[in-house]
Amino acid sequence: MTTASDLTYFASADGDLAYRETGSGDLVVLVHSGFVDHRVYDAVIPALARTHRIVAPDVRGHGASANATRPFRWTDDLAALLRHLDAGPAVLVGVSMGGLIVSDTLLEHPELVRAAVVAGASTGEFEDSDPWHRAIQAETARCLAAGDLEGWLKVFLNFVPGPHRTLDEVDQDIPRRLSEMALNTLSKHTPGEKDWLVRVTDTWSRVPKIDVPVLTVNGALDTADVIAAGRRLADTVPDGRSVLMEGTAHYPMMEKPEEFTAVVTDFLRGL
């Protein structure tokens, strides 16, 4: 497990942003899912670092990175980190919220991206119409607004098994680790604080112009809409492909780390 001493910080335009760096070779940047931090990749980083320089940032407002105090975009923070690293175009890997940040960066800062893996996500214009997902989103929003962290966490952890399993059917170390990360991130915020995030718009119309290889990855136990959106992204870019991982839902890098690593490694070898 990463400790504070393993992190490096760089001064962004609005506070210090943290990242973990290890390995050597071509740069691969791992962008985490929402409410947690870079440690969701702890099980895959050692293997990937054998052949690549791995950077795993904490997204603004998450983990050890600064909160926003003015309008910002996730993609601009990632672009600032890539320019700070000065390592040439990078391969970006993102899961869930991280996948959205990766797809935004493909559109907004294409010169910084060599290739991309988008898992459990597509573009910012995606909205899952699945009733299960909508109910979770509504309840998590209600709990956050009320400052009910215990209730929020209970609902949030449903994303681990997905709509086709119960939480009892997954390795209990995963919800434990996610809980630790999520509570750490939420402790940085207060109920009702201003949301400074600016969303990237007009995404799907620009996806056909993406000119680097894109791999989309989905867990077969995720919602049908998430899976379909990932396939749509892979089908719409000129050089896209998709992989469906069995036996996992929204956190393949935690539930199936060896398989997830193999999928990413195979993609990297083909670049």
49: CB partners within 8 A, 6+ apart:
22, 23
pLDDT at position 1, please? 53
Indicate yes or no: pTM above 0.95: yes
Single-letter amino acid, residue 21: E
CA distance 103 to 94: 9
Q: Which residues of 140-154 are buried (b: 16+ CB within 10 A; e: fewer)?
A: beebbeeeebeebbb
Query: For residue range 70-100, what is the model confidence (pLDDT) as tens digits?
Result: 999 999 999 999 999 998 899 999 999 999 9
In 3D space, the residue among 129, 123, 130 whose CA is nearest the CA of residue 163 turns out to be 130
The token pair that represents 143 in the structure block: 């709990």
Domain 4-128+197-269 part of CATH 3.40.50.1820: yes
pLDDT at position 62, please? 98
Single-letter amino acid, residue 84: H
Would you say residue 2 has pLDDT above 80?
no
Would you say residue 221 has pLDDT above 80?
yes
pLDDT at position 5, please? 60
Would you say residue 238 has pLDDT above 70?
yes
pLDDT > 70: what percent of the chain? 98
Would you say residue 4 has pLDDT above 70?
no
Which letter does DSSP use for residue 181 in this model?
Answer: H
Cβ burial of 187 (10 Å; 0-12, 13-18, 19+) is exposed
Would you say residue 126 has pLDDT above 70?
yes
Least confident of 1-10, 41-50, 179-188, 237-246: 1-10
Query: For residue range 247-270, what is the model confidence (pLDDT) as tens digits?
Result: 999 999 999 999 999 999 999 999
Least confident of 4-18, 101-115, 240-254: 4-18
Confidence of residue 191 (pLDDT cuts 50, 70, 90): confident
pLDDT at position 3, please? 54
Residues of the chain with CATH 3.40.50.1820: 4-128+197-269
CA distance 104 to 119: 14
CA distance 155 to 114: 36
